[in-house]
Amino acid sequence: MAKGVMIVAEQRDGALRKISLELASTARKLADQTGDEVSAILLGAGIEGLAAELGKFGVDKVFVGDNAALEPYVTEAHADATAKIIKDNDPAIVLFGASVQGKDLSARVAAKLATGLATDCTDVKVDGGKMVATRPMYAGKCFGEIVIEATPQIASLRPNVFPAAENAKAGAVTKVDVAVEAQKSKVLEVQKDTSGKVDLTEANVIVSGGRGMKGPDEFKILEELADVLKGTVGASRAAVDAGWRPQKDQVGQTGKVVSPNLYIACGISGAIQHLAGMSSSKCIVAINKDAEAPIFTKADYGVVDDLFKVVPELTAVCKKLVA
Amino acid sequence: MNIIACVKQVPDTEAQIKVKADGSGIEEGQIKWVMNPYDEFGVEEALKLKEKNGGDVTIVCVGPARAMETIRTALAMGADKGVHISDPAFDNADAYVIANALAAVIKTLPHDIIFCGQRAIDDDAGQVGAMLAEALNVPQLTIVTKLEYAGSSVKVIRPIEGAQLSIETALPCVVTCQKGLNEPRYASLPGIMKAKKKPVDVKNAAAIGVATDAKAKVAKTVPPPARPPGKIVCGDEPAQKAAELGRLLREEAKAI
């Protein structure tokens, strides 16, 4: 019978991504409820050394598939290897990260195993021996509680929502032979973003601007505040459609759905499709001249004033606070 | 080229979503239904490929009777024909069931490239493209913002966290479309008139021969967790408000 919780760890350039530790920690919590083991799948080239770190965050056993053909990530090669390791070990629950790679991989693997998948979950628990995964739908306008009527039960977890807590276990390495067939897809180039900014979906702090920013150059004051708070700048659809910010910065139902610790909305009125994308943020600040703006209904702290006066002052205040 | 674009009908982004009192789903009464915005990018890309390289565009859609409107919208944009997979048995389908239903139809059609939205803005699952690729045993390129066609292959750009990948893949393949790929056209009036006469094949579950039992079930739908009411930060001057906000974020919210 299927048993235990397995995670599919994600690494890039030989380093574990933060989501992998969040997965390990969450899997540990679920497995401890039933006294089961946590195992992990780790694929790539020359990555065996990362197993110890997974162990530190609660993983008992790490299946390492080491093959030059698994680097960089190509969907079909990783999906074949991942599905095979899952089949051979028969876990009850498998957790992926809901990162770009994790979403791409988890759906393919679930289809290979003819099972169901709950994507981008913000809570998972075990109830009566079955996983119950809670996930936002309609970009967070409502939530669904998902159960999987097949084995294994698969969920992908939203980055930045589940805590990563140390809980040392063995992290014992089991090497797995991974045969990689000739691939139909080939990564030609990886072009790295050199800004040094964390992606919106993984940022702890987001400073977002909307139509009230009045133009692209005015975002400079948001960049300055974000720099002080080690955050990332986001934008509403209005600001992106006006061409003030690139598409990758858009927060909302047709952009990115984010859950940072702190979300500062500047000059954003709060169209329902924007609110949907950010309302799971832990602390929300709205700065807007219009006291009637819908954004204030979601804000923990509202400042009704001219953002062009408040934001530079706030940057100065924060500079002192974080110094 | 034989091009397929898969579409789904979803509530408009402006729609207020109300959960039914018994948690069995959402109230559909007041909703305005539209083509999933990410699927519009797929239809547009399909039409652009056809215009450049010749061929035809087939729209495939799983959905209730009302979804015919969305198929007609795609035909009005310029697609040639449609297949509407419609059966109450699909009412509670998950991505696995939908992907297999789409695959069952697409397998019977010549196909060089298949477009899907990167996710539908209703269930936000983002699974169908990858599951469809698996069912067809072809490569997948998900969340694509640029596509170049080169005869027997395509080259695409896929943004990931902190980087952009350039990937080349042999056809046939499934491409899931992200905002930025193109600007979807509006249907013209002559397009809308022509669309009425374009063929749409309607098929039920039995006709395509797929199982309709969902693997992932929504056991319960609940409203989002309520947020405690917020505070308006007081002060006479912007500087005072900023100082008070900084203090609250530090001491009360512990957010900085």
Residue ranges per domain, chain A?
Answer: 5-176, 200-322
ipTM of the complex: 0.96
Alpha carbons A10 and A12: distance in angstroms, whole number:
7
Percent of chain B with pLDDT over 70: 100
Q: Is A299 helix (H, G, I), strand (E, B) or coil?
A: coil
Nearest to B164 among A191, A205, A300 (CB): A191
Alpha carbons B203 and A211: distance in angstroms, whole number:
46
Kindly report the backbone phi and psi dihedral angles of residue B146, in degrees, each rounded to the nearest multiple of 5, phi listed first: -155, 140
Cis amide bond preceding B228, omega within 30 = no
Contact list, B137 vs chain A (CB under 8 Å): none
Residue B47 pLDDT > 90, yes or no? yes
Contact list, B216 vs chain A (CB under 8 Å): 116-118, 146-149
* Closest residue in A to B17 (Cα–Cα): A141
Q: Is B21 exposed, middle or buried (0-12, 13-18, 19+ CB in 10 A)?
A: exposed
Task: Give the pLDDT confidence score for residue A47 in this predicted structure.
Answer: 96
What band does B211 get if pLDDT is binned at 50, 70 and 90? Answer: very high
Contact list, A143 vs chain B (CB under 8 Å): 221-225
pLDDT, one tens digit per residue, over A28-75 is 999 999 899 999 999 999 999 999 999 999 999 999 999 999 999 999
Q: Which CATH number fits domain A5-176: 3.40.50.620, 3.30.43.10, 3.40.605.10, 1.25.40.10?
A: 3.40.50.620
CB A211 within 8 A of CB A236: yes
B133 to A161, B62, B100, B176: CA distances (angstroms) = 30, 16, 10, 10
B139 contacts A147? CB cut-off 8 A: no
Torsion region of A158: left, alpha or beta (phi above 0 gives left; psi -120 to 50 gives alpha): beta
CB A104 within 8 A of CB A10: no
* Closest residue in A to B230 (Cα–Cα): A300
A99 contacts B139? CB cut-off 8 A: no
Q: What is the DSSP letter of A247?
A: G
Percent of chain A with pLDDT over 90: 93
Task: Give the pLDDT confidence score for residue A179 in this predicted structure.
Answer: 87
What band does B225 get if pLDDT is binned at 50, 70 and 90? Answer: confident
Cis amide bond preceding A152, omega within 30 = yes
Residue A195 pLDDT > 90, yes or no? no
The C-alpha torsion from A58 through A64 and A70 to A73, rounded to 10°, is -10
Alpha carbons B185 and A55: distance in angstroms, whole number:
52
Which secondary-structure segment (H or E) carries A37? Answer: none
Q: Alpha helices, DSSP H only, in B8-94?
A: 37-53, 68-77
Residue A120 pLDDT > 90, yes or no? yes
What band does B11 get if pLDDT is binned at 50, 70 and 90? Answer: very high
Count of alpha carbons within 13 Å of A106, Cβ hemisphere only?
A: 33
Contact list, A148 vs chain B (CB under 8 Å): 215-217
Cα angle, residue A26 at apex, residues A22 and A32 outer, rounded to 5°: 145
A vs B, Cβ pairs < 8 A, gives 270
Q: What is the DSSP letter of B251?
A: I
Contact list, A136 vs chain B (CB under 8 Å): 124, 224
Alpha carbons A227 and A319: distance in angstroms, whole number:
10
Task: Give the pLDDT confidence score for residue B39 in this predicted structure.
Answer: 98
Q: What is the mean pLDDT of chain A?
A: 96
Nearest to B241 among A75, A191, A310 (CB): A310
Q: What is the mean pLDDT of chain B?
A: 97
Residue A1 pLDDT > 90, yes or no? no
Task: Determine the CATH number of domain A200-322.
Answer: 3.40.50.1220
pLDDT, one tens digit per residue, over B121-178 is 999 999 999 999 999 999 999 999 999 999 999 999 999 999 999 999 999 999 999 9
Shortest distance between the Cα of A202 and any Cα of chain B, in A, equals 8
User: What b/e readout covers A161-186, taking b as 16+ CB neighbours within 10 angstroms?
Assistant: bbebeebebebebeebebebeebbbe
Cα angle, residue B97 at apex, residues A127 and A185 outer, rounded to 5°: 105
B180 contacts A321? CB cut-off 8 A: no
Beta strand spans in A5-53 (E): 5-8, 11-12, 15-16, 38-44
Nearest to B162 among A199, A250, A254 (CB): A199
The more confident residue out of A197 and A78 is A78
Nearest to B255 among A191, A261, A304 (CB): A261
CB A142 within 8 A of CB B19: yes
Shortest distance between the Cα of B199 and any Cα of chain A, in A, equals 31
Alpha carbons B143 and A46: distance in angstroms, whole number:
28
Task: Give the pLDDT confidence score for residue B226 in this predicted structure.
Answer: 86
Beta strand spans in A205-312 (E): 205-209, 232-235, 262-266, 283-288, 301-304
pLDDT, one tens digit per residue, over B81-110 is 999 999 999 999 999 999 999 999 999 999
Helix%, strand%, coil% for chain A, nearest 5: 35, 30, 35
A304 contacts B253? CB cut-off 8 A: no
Q: Alpha helices, DSSP H only, in B64-223?
A: 68-77, 95-106, 128-136, 189-195, 205-208
User: What b/e readout covers A203-224, taking b as 16+ CB neighbours within 10 angstroms?
Assistant: bbbbbbbbbbbeeeebbebbbb
Mean pLDDT throughout B53-69? Answer: 98
